[in-house]
Chains A and B, each alone.
Chain A
Amino acid sequence: MTSPLHSIMTKLTAGFIILVLVISGLTFYFTYGASSGKIQESTQQELLALASITASDLNGDEIAKLQPGMESEVLYLMNVEQLAAMAKSDGEIVKIYTLRKNGDQMEYVIDSGYNSGTRNFRIGTPEPNPSDAMIRAYSGREVEREFIQRPWGTVLSAYAPILGATGKVIGIVGVDMDARVVQKRMSFVGQTIYLIMFLGIICAGLIIAIFSRTMIRDIHILIDSANRISRGDTDVAITITRNDEIGELASSFKRMVTSLKILMHTDYKQE
């Protein structure tokens, strides 16, 4: 009896699974990076679009009037509500805020979380390390290429300029998405590829097991028949009907057995 380790079925199954693993691995290697990059890019575009819409909805001249200490005034609270509503419309947005230049520095003006217990700054709170994208956003909408660390978490940010009635840039609006959301989207690709690999291996294993099972069964029939004949028992019936190589082997085997039967038959022995 052939041991499972040396069985054709084991070898075929192992070979097929290795093949699936190699193909899946190569697919993963060549597609994961590109797919993740595309997902990050599309997330950046989504943030840019939201930043642009928010900026176009804001009244730049009103924002220019807001000065430190005016947080309880209707003008401020209305703008806070407007930003909060925009942030709420997309559940994956952590915060929307506005910034403006104050001399050489940049300072925060409106915080979408001001009324919801997630306030991080007041009017005039300086941004200690304005990024290049923030500064460039005065000229046009911009997005951070990498995640950045903010007091409210690690985020991916996009900015758009806020215009006054005369078309002058009053400040910028920033839209922050939690980095975990972006990473989750990116890891979805990897997880999907892993899932496909897993399903591919299971399917490959099942297919090869089913195919090889009938093949091995027929080989065992031939082995059993050969063993019986080798012990002098020619009364064997080989019922294998296949159109492949094993079927051909079975036909040859049948002819051989028939010849043995004829030669061992009493009538023919006397010849």
Chain B
Amino acid sequence: MSTTSDAVLETATEYLGPAAITLLERQTKFHMQGLSFQDLQSSHCTELAKWVGIASAMFIEQDKAEELADKIRNLGV
């Protein structure tokens, strides 16, 4: 697992709990050309943040979902 993957997972788990890994893996697999979440690099964070924001809004409040997306986006900076 890459350093970026670890950081993103840790951040996402704060909002989504232990199922965060399931959600993240699905986003990278279906929206980022089959990328494995384990191989995530900081350059992927902006794209991933967009999809995580959309997907997580189905499970948590909109403002929290945007907050999570912002945090993931910032990990790529």
Contact = CB atoms under 8 A, between A and B. Distances in A.
A and B from one complex: yes
A47 B34 CA distance: 102
Contact of A268 (B13, B14, B22): B22
Interface string A255-270: 1111111110101100
Contacts of B26: 267-268, 271
A263 B60 contact: no
Interface string A238-260: 00000000000000001111111
A260 B16 CA distance: 9
Contact of B19 (A254, A259, A267): A259
Nearest to A260: B19
Majority-rule SS of A interface residues? helix
Contact of B16 (A262, A267, A271): A262
A255 B17 CA distance: 5
Contacts of B59: 258, 261-262, 265
Contacts of B15: 255, 258
Interface residues of A, number: 14
Majority-rule SS of B interface residues? helix
Nearest to A257: B17
Interface in B19-77: 19-20, 22-23, 25-26, 58-60
A262 B19 contact: yes
Interface string B1-16: 0000000000001111
Contacts of A258: 15-17, 19, 59-60
Of B13, B15, B18, chain A has the most CB atoms within 10 Å of the CB of B18
A258 B21 CA distance: 12
Contacts of A254: 60
Contacts of B14: 255
A263 B58 CA distance: 12
Contacts of A262: 16-17, 19-20, 22-23, 59
Given A261-B59, A262-B59, A265-B58, A255 B22 contact: no
A268 B23 CA distance: 7
Given A258-B59, A258-B60, A263 B22 contact: yes
Of A256, A259, A267, A268, chain B has the most CB atoms within 10 Å of the CB of A259
8 contacts: A255-B17, A258-B17, A258-B60, A259-B17, A259-B20, A261-B59, A268-B23, A271-B26
Given A255-B17, A262-B17, 14 more contacts: A254-B60, A255-B16, A258-B17, A259-B16, A259-B20, A261-B59, A262-B16, A265-B58, A265-B59, A268-B19, A268-B22, A268-B26, A271-B22, A271-B25
